[in-house]
Amino acid sequence: MNLKILLPFKIFAEKTGVSRIVAESRDGSFGLLPRRLDCVAALAPGILVFETESEGEVCIAVDEGVLVKTGADVLVSVRNAIGGTDLGKLRAAVEQEFLNLDEQEKSVRSVLAKLESGFVRRFAAFHHD
């Protein structure tokens, strides 16, 4: 298989000769082999594992995103990714960086919703006057 990991601003990794891929979704981990049917999956923050003959098993921490398999090509588009060799450090990076970012996003969205509702109320009051 050919694996390409895309970030919003660059190509993080591009590998050929991938024999298997294991990724995480909200429903749990799943694996891809070269002859699996084409599919699309929403990825959860976690560890993406792939194996090539030259590099062996490689682990990458990925943020949420989408995986698309079409034929021999597998595209993984995520918001952020971190490479490394120590699986424990990668898992810690997922928990600290990617999951904390989700909490920050929730906070920012809450503040924006309050600003928007305040604007709409003031605009409605101005319109009625």
* Better-predicted residue by pLDDT, 102 or 86: 86
Look at residue 128 in the predicted model and tell me its pLDDT. Answer: 73
CA dist 28 and 30 (Å) reads 7
Domain boundaries, the chain: 2-128
Sheet containing 2-6: give its strands across: 11-15, 2-6, 73-78, 65-70, 39-43
58: buried, middle or exposed (CB in 10 Å: 19+, 13-18, 0-12)? middle
Look at residue 104 in the predicted model and tell me its pLDDT. Answer: 67
Percent of the chain topping pLDDT 90 = 50
CA dist 94 and 61 (Å) reads 6
Look at residue 46 in the predicted model and tell me its pLDDT. Answer: 86
Look at residue 42 in the predicted model and tell me its pLDDT. Answer: 95
Q: Which fold has domain 2-128?
A: ATP Synthase; domain 1 (2.60.15)
Helices of type H across 1-129: 87-93, 99-128
- Nearest 10 degrees: Cα torsion 86, 91, 92, 95: 160
* Better-predicted residue by pLDDT, 48 or 106: 48
Task: State the Cα angle at 101 between 31 and 98, rounded to 5°.
Answer: 25
Mind listing the pLDDT tens digit for each residue in 98-115?
666 566 676 777 777 778
Percent of the chain topping pLDDT 70 = 91
Mind listing the pLDDT tens digit for each residue in 4-45?
999 999 999 999 999 999 999 989 999 999 999 999 999 998
